Structure 1
Amino acid sequence: MTHLIERLRTLSFALLLLSLAACGNGDSPDPQEANREAGTPQELVEGSPSISVSVTPVVRRQLQAWVYSQGTARSRQREFLTFTQQGMVAHVDPQLRVGSPVKAGQVIAYQAPERVRAELQAARAAQAEAEANLALAKVTQRRYETLIAQRSASQQELDEARVRVEQAVAARDSARAQVAQAQVGVDESRLVSPIDGVLARLNIEKGRYFMPSTVQTNTEQSALRTVPALVIDPHRFEVSVDLPAYEFRRIRSGARAVIGGSAPVGGDDADPLALRDGIAGQVYAISPSIDPDTRTFQVLVHTEGSNPGLQDGEFVAVWIAEPALENALAVPAEAIRYRADQAFVFVVDPASGRVSERRLELGQQADNYRAVIEGVEEGERVVTDGRAALHDGQRVRVLQTAGGAR
């Protein structure tokens, strides 16, 4: 029995020696190779999981920024028509209504014309009499000049004839002025369109008594409600906008502008060139003076073309182009992150497959891009999607580059 136990001990010791020898030789399998054969991801083998990201290269492009505001569109030619004297409205063109086209010289309405026409006729008669007296005075003067040459009249008589001519000229001129004054009275008793345009307001009716004191001009709104008629040019409009003082150096006279039919929500972020109802315009004038109460300055924008499709008094959105940046280094706005007001991006190193955090000095923003003054180089790839889970030195897997496949 004892002999059997000794043999088992000897056998166990031998097996132990064989096992140690096997562990020490160079034919043992590589653990990493075993993991690859088992399908284990390399990033897990190395202990640093990769983050899937999308990237875009840093490129140079033209950046066009816009200053956004809102303003009121008004026709560039607005004619407020009114009577200067009180009286009954005797006639209103029955073919006209608000929105009707009118021609220059077309009579819209007139007051009872008998009195002013009688005054005009009397003035014209007085003018005719003055013209006749002048003609007679000139004939008399020439006659005396002939008599003087024949020594048949005195110099005093000739001088008196000359004075009468001068008096007749003065009387003639006075009569002409009276005719002009009477004509003004006739004109002011009528509402006549001075331009080709559209009747925008008609606040009178036939048979109603009009008094000039009813026209209120203290505000535009009051004038529009009380003026007898308003004619506008529907083809040329002007938009007045008030911009903050800090925008003054970003605006240039003659700059391109886009006028929207309505003021959209988030107009600062909108692309005016993508608007379907955008109306082309141009900066016409820039006020050099700042309103002391609002700290704003006025900019006038004129529409281009002959049919802008705006309404007089319409509230509209306006985008004014800033001077464009040519060949500017730019990154997508979606790639930029901020920490303590410091902008930065994650740049992918293609050799190591890791990202590095780069601080940026930013310039002008245009559409979805931001100009970069310092921080990245042209051709480097910045992370646009997946950046929220990144940190400096993080290993990444690039899924998409600038909209294309990896």
Structure 2
Amino acid sequence: MRFLRRSLTGVFLLAVTLVLLAWAGSLVRGAIVAKMNQEPRSFPQRERVLSVNFAMLDPQTIVPELTAFGELRSQRTLDLRSATGGIVEEVSDALVDGGTVIKGDLLLRIDAAVATAALDRVRADLQDAEAELRDAERAFVLAEDELTAARAQSALRDQALARAQDLAGRGVGTTAAVETAELASSSAQASVLTQRQSVASAQARIDQATTSLARQRINLSEAERDVSDTEVYAAFDGQLSNVTLSAGGRVSANESFAQLVDPTQLEVSFRVSTSQYARLLDERGQLVQAPVTVTLDVSGLNLAGTGKITRESASVASGQTGRLLFATLDTALGFRPGDFVTVRIDEPALENVALVPSTAIAADETVLLIGDDERLHVGQVSLLRRQGDNVIVSVGDYAGRAIVAERSPLLGAGIKVSPIMPEGQEIAVLEPEMLRLDPDRRAKLIAFVTDGRMPDDVKARILAQLEQDEVSSETVERLESRMGS
């Protein structure tokens, strides 16, 4: 009996356990089915608002500044050369690198012994030429006197011939006497011809002596110049560089021993692109004499000078592009030839433009305008100039509007933003374009919003806008773009 009772108790407990397991399984299955059939919970979604910096499109007149790099050089640079060779006897104390000289200062003197001896010889030859000319002139005078006497003698002979012929005609004279008179007259004429040749020879001697004297005077001038060339003087005020000579050294003819530079008359040469060059032309195509500013950064201390553009290169060198321009400096304190400087050129002024950060404009020259309800709107502008980290754009119809100063991939049309406004400034928002919808179009938009998965407050706000007579074009475009997607 005890065994049977214990067996029945075990069977009863097993049955109760199975019933409890079945009941628990039924509860779990019911919970899973209920969970699967339950509608998904919807949490209210809040629109994301981004904070942005903004810039104002205030129309103004701006003078663009073109930046280039150039090299300074002196407009007056002279290579000092020795016109004659020899030993250097005397050198000026200023004949050193960086030495300052004044126009007319003696720089060096070369041994003039050879040049002086040559000058003395030329002077002696000049005296011989002058003596020869005087002798030729005296000989010419004597030749003319002899010619005069010969002509007088010939006239007498002609008279004697005439008398002899007259006597012979009257029967008093003889034929032999007439012939003798004729021979004497012919001899006198020959003497006149000889004296004329002597006068011509004397005149030729004078011409030769005059030519010789002129040559000797030329030689004298050259010899005197050779003597003067033994001394070299400064041609203008300036400073010396590349000095390679000292006292006691030997210099050869045409040897360069220094360079004289005028540091007060400087100009800068710089290269600009062809497009930049085109902006510096006037309506006639001539280069304008635009003002320039030259700066040199020296350990944080900027040396500055001003000037204006004066000319351009006649041709473009092989392998180069753009244009090479030259500007003369009016003030150049502290500058020296060879300095590599920054050149800033003032271009013609631009009107009705604005200066904004370069991060505010996209590659397609569009900006993000802050429009209705602080939402972004795309606007098209024209990029005119780049000025460092800023750009100059045309304002057009967006005068006084606010744009996003720093664009990012998160920003686009329709995005709501929170502008970070500097103190004392207000944003001029762009009023949206309003549309009057036909009933079918309005019904489609209302159905799309009603069936859409939007927060209830957003649905209510959009439906309230769609029930108005006129609806914002931005709202309509945004909803229709989502309907198409």
TM-score (norm 2): 0.59
Q: 1:59 offset after TM fit, Å? A: 0.9
Q: 1:361 offset after TM fit, Å? A: 2.9
Q: 1:169 offset after TM fit, Å? A: 2.2
Answering whether residue 120 of structure 2 is matched by residue 121 of structure 1, we say yes
Match of 2:296 among 257, 261, 266: 261
| Larger RCO, structures 1/2 (Cα 8 Å, 6+ apart) | 1
Query: In 2 relative to 1, CA 195–366 (structure 1 residues): closer, same or farther, beyond 3 Å?
Result: same
How is 1:361-372 mapped onto 2 (pairs within 5 angstroms)? 361-366=382-387, 369-372=390-393
Query: In 2 relative to 1, CA 206–173 (structure 1 residues): closer, same or farther, beyond 3 Å?
Result: same
- Residue 400 of structure 2 aligns with an amino acid whose one-letter code is G
Q: Which moved more, 1:135-144 or 1:201-210?
A: 135-144
Query: In 2 relative to 1, CA 347–244 (structure 1 residues): closer, same or farther, beyond 3 Å?
Result: closer
Query: In 2 relative to 1, CA 315–367 (structure 1 residues): closer, same or farther, beyond 3 Å?
Result: closer
Aligned to 1:237: 266
Q: Deviations over 1:116-164 (max 9, x none)?
A: 1211232233334434544564566577668878867944344333323
- Residue 369 of structure 2 aligns with an amino acid whose one-letter code is V
- Residue 403 of structure 2 aligns with an amino acid whose one-letter code is V
Secondary structure of 1:203's match? coil
Query: In 2 relative to 1, CA 360–327 (structure 1 residues): closer, same or farther, beyond 3 Å?
Result: closer
Structure with the largest fraction of strand: 1
Aligned to 2:60: 60
Aligned to 1:34: none
Q: Is the 8 A contact 1:329 1:378 kept in 2?
A: no
Structure with the largest fraction of helix: 2
- Residue 351 of structure 2 aligns with an amino acid whose one-letter code is N
TM-score (norm 1): 0.68
Q: Which runs of 5+ in 2 are unaligned?
A: 1-43, 153-191, 281-286, 427-485
Match of 1:198 among 209, 224, 239: 239
Answering whether residue 344 of structure 2 is matched by residue 344 of structure 1, we say no
Taking the aligned partners of 1:240 and 1:324, their CA distance within structure 2 comes to 21
Aligned to 1:130: 129
Q: Deviations over 1:239-262 (max 9, x none)?
A: 333445554434435332222225
Q: Is the 8 A contact 1:336 1:345 kept in 2?
A: yes
Q: Is the 8 A contact 1:106 1:192 kept in 2?
A: yes
Q: 1:53 offset after TM fit, Å? A: 3.8
Secondary structure of 1:278's match? strand
Query: In 2 relative to 1, CA 204–60 (structure 1 residues): closer, same or farther, beyond 3 Å?
Result: same
Q: 1:375 offset after TM fit, Å? A: 6.7
Q: 1:106 offset after TM fit, Å? A: 2.5
Aligned to 1:80: 79
Match of 1:354 among 364, 368, 375: 375
Taking the aligned partners of 1:299 and 1:129, their CA distance within structure 2 comes to 61
Aligned to 1:318: 343
Taking the aligned partners of 2:131 and 2:424, their CA distance within structure 1 comes to 96
Taking the aligned partners of 1:158 and 1:130, their CA distance within structure 2 comes to 20
The percent of aligned pairs where both chains have the same amino acid is 19
Taking the aligned partners of 1:146 and 1:289, their CA distance within structure 2 comes to 73
Query: In 2 relative to 1, CA 364–119 (structure 1 residues): closer, same or farther, beyond 3 Å?
Result: same
Q: Is the 8 A contact 1:336 1:343 kept in 2?
A: no
Q: 1:194 offset after TM fit, Å? A: 1.9
Aligned to 1:21: none
How is 1:393-404 mapped onto 2 (pairs within 5 angstroms)? 393-400=414-421, 404=424
Aligned to 1:33: none
Aligned to 1:383: 404
Q: 1:90 offset after TM fit, Å? A: 1.9
Q: Is the 8 A contact 1:116 1:185 kept in 2?
A: yes
Answering whether residue 325 of structure 2 is matched by residue 304 of structure 1, we say no
Aligned to 2:351: 327
